Structure 1
Amino acid sequence: MKDDTIYYKALVEKDKSFEGIFIVGVKTTGIFCRPTCTARKPKQENVEFFATTKDAILKGYRPCKVCHPMENLGDTPEYINKVIELLDKNPSIKLKDYDLRQMGIEPSTIRRWFQKNHQITFHAYQRLHKLNTAFKKFQTGISVTDTAFDSGYESLSGFNDSFKKVFGVSPSKSKTQNIVDLMRLETPLGTMVACATDKGICLLEFTDRKMLETELKHLAKSLNATIVQGHNKHFDLLKEEIGKYFEGSLTEFTVTLDTVGTDFQKKVWEMLLKIPYGTTVSYQQQAHAINNPAAVRAVANANGMNKISIIIPCHRVIGTDGSLTGYGGGLWRKKRLLDLEKKKLMQ
């Protein structure tokens, strides 16, 4: 089928997999929309498709007020960032509805956002964030009693009960348990989730990746850890370098990584790190590079198990015929990343 026919079918079905691939302009209204717009669908003869919002604007269309095509899908709203930043600075506080309204935030709105994006309530997020901070204090030798009251708990028993429900062990036995920090990260290609241990970044994925939940469970099991929202010393450099990468001013990452996988997978990922910025290799070439030319399928599977997108650049691996084959973040993102790097090299 021609692209227009495929795109129109995706538009009618509100197919999320086409987000980022096309923008649709509606001739009868002068509006342009994203593929998943919930507005009433126009007839096929009344639409035209564009690769970017810029193309639609240059053609005279204006953005839809229903689907907001000018915004990155899944972006964290500024008021959420404001709340998270406040909790990061003072984990012991407990924000109630009154406090949120004083900040100009409707409590029901923030509750819906946390439920939709994290599958937990805002109250649960605050509790987890507080316990995450407490866990780290234990690692530095601070006593359970001091930590409990510093964290805003009114009783030691209440703190012990809450801690055990989250981490599965009492505070005094938590030395045997590990923790993985998690944060959301905004990029021009959508929101990502990053995870880190004390050793380095162990996950960086787009939030709409289908395997994300499975990857998080694998991390927790492999590291004997609980994954909790919280700050990590590696996150600041990660945000800085990801930002520079998308600006086109960074071609090599220096942020420390803590890869979690089998010995074979790690060998494959190490080879990925050696693929120069702006270039591509085939799966066959990748298999030869690790001295195992017969392992093309195994190499492809290992690429698919890579949990650290962009930095470990599995997007630079393509089919032998030059086609853009599988990519967990979506083929449209793979194309955007390769186009970004090629454009930088041509400057």
Structure 2
Amino acid sequence: MSTIINIMRYDSPIGRLGLASVQGRLVHLDFEDNDDRMVLIQSRRFKNIDWLENGMAPASVLAWLDAYFAGRNIPLPMEDIDMRGTDFQKSVWQALIDIPLGTHISYAGLAEKLNNPKAVRAVARANALNPVSIIVPCHRVIGSDGTLTGYAGGLVRKRWLLDHEAQMMPVFA
């Protein structure tokens, strides 16, 4: 029996996104020019895949994306997201979710946060395998020296996302 992965396209201010869903739950979100990355990651998670273009994505995910790109911060639609990975990867992805909007952390800082300071490379690898870009904010991880480093969507998009999120922050008097 094969797994049907429904692909939907979403136009964002920084490029078209590909959203992949299985049985009504999002399994992948990435920029359309990274479709090969989506196929690679999902081929490791599912066997015998049938890809269906022009499918649908969960309404909660689309509502979240609409709000996010409009500059509104609403709760993440995690109930409609299927994050498959190792326990370590899932711990890294949860730590990414816990990075406050408008802030960033280094790979070393993320490893420290996970009480595993020697796991910087493993943290970076799990970050790179994040299947739901933007929602799980891997773009909030930067180099220890404060520079922007690797992002599958490219550094221009990473900068845009960080700048966009900085504007979404509430202003305190």
Determine helix, strand or coil for the equivalent of 2:133: coil
**1:240 corresponds to 2:58:** no
- Give distance in 1, aligned partners of 2:32 and 2:57: 22
Q: How does 1:1-347 map to 2 (within 5 A)?
A: 176-198=1-23, 200-209=25-34, 212-224=35-47, 225-232=49-56, 234=58, 236-255=59-78, 256-345=80-169, 347=171
Which amino acid letter does the alignment assign opposite residue 190 of structure 1? Answer: G
Runs of at least 5 residues in structure 2 that lack an aligned partner in the other structure: none
Q: Is the 8 A contact 1:259 1:266 kept in 2?
A: yes
- Give distance in 2, aligned partners of 1:177 and 1:201: 17
Q: Which stretches of structure 1, 4 residues or longer, exceed 2 Å deviation after superposition?
A: 230-233, 260-263
Which is higher, the Rg of structure 1 or of structure 2?
Answer: 1
Q: Higher helix share goes to which structure?
A: 1
Runs of at least 5 residues in structure 1 that lack an aligned partner in the other structure: 1-175
- Give distance in 1, aligned partners of 2:154 and 2:136: 16
Identical-pair percentage: 38
Q: Per-residue displacement from partner, 1:43-90 (whole Å, max 9, x unpaired)?
A: xxxxxxxxxxxxxxxxxxxxxxxxxxxxxxxxxxxxxxxxxxxxxxxx
Q: Is the 8 A contact 1:220 1:227 kept in 2?
A: no
Alignment length (residue pairs):
169
Per chain length, whose mean CA-contact separation is higher, i.e. which structure has more relative contact order (CA < 8 Å, sep 6+)?
2
Determine helix, strand or coil for the equivalent of 1:195: strand
Closer/same/farther in 2, CA of residues 221 and 285 from structure 1, 3 Å limit:
closer
Q: CA deviation at 1:233?
A: 5.7
Across the aligned residues of Structure 1 and Structure 2, the Cα RMSD in angstroms comes to: 1.8
Q: Is the 8 A contact 1:252 1:277 kept in 2?
A: no
Which amino acid letter does the alignment assign opposite residue 127 of structure 2? Answer: N
Determine helix, strand or coil for the equivalent of 1:208: helix
Taking structure 1 as the reference length, what is the TM-score of the superposition?
A: 0.46
Q: Higher strand share goes to which structure?
A: 2
Q: CA deviation at 1:327?
A: 0.6
Q: Which residue of 2 aligns with 1:122?
A: none
